[in-house]
Amino acid sequence: MPTAMADTNPDQVALATLDDIVRGDYPAATAPFDQRMHKMLPDKALGQAWDAYQQQFGAYQSHGEPEDVQRGEATVVNVPLQMARKPGQFRVTVQPDGAVSGLYFLREGVRVP
């Protein structure tokens, strides 16, 4: 469960989660997940989702600067991805306590609802 403080920087949470995913350290990537996310996307499922995303978009190359959108108390963080075949987007929703309550691998340009 999340051990982050209330002043956690959502960009840092997003980038650390992305770094863990890219390294294949899915237990570390899911560590900040809230209880609902742990049930919806356990370690193995996250790894499978990342593998499927790379099959479609190509291997991960690099990422750009995070962009934040406030949605109530939560911060939605979008990180542009440079993949081998086409650009993509990594999105996480970070709660004020640092818990991740949403995670998506998207095509480039998907707007935050």
Split at pLDDT 50, 70, 90, the class of 2 is: very low
| CATH entry 3.40.50.620 includes domain 10-107 | no
Q: Where are the domains of the chain?
A: 10-107
Tens-digit pLDDT profile for residues 14-51? 999 999 999 999 999 999 999 999 999 999 999 999 99
Q: Which residue has the tokens 């691998």?
A: 105
The pair of three-digit structure tokens given for residue 92, joined into one six-digit string: 């996480």
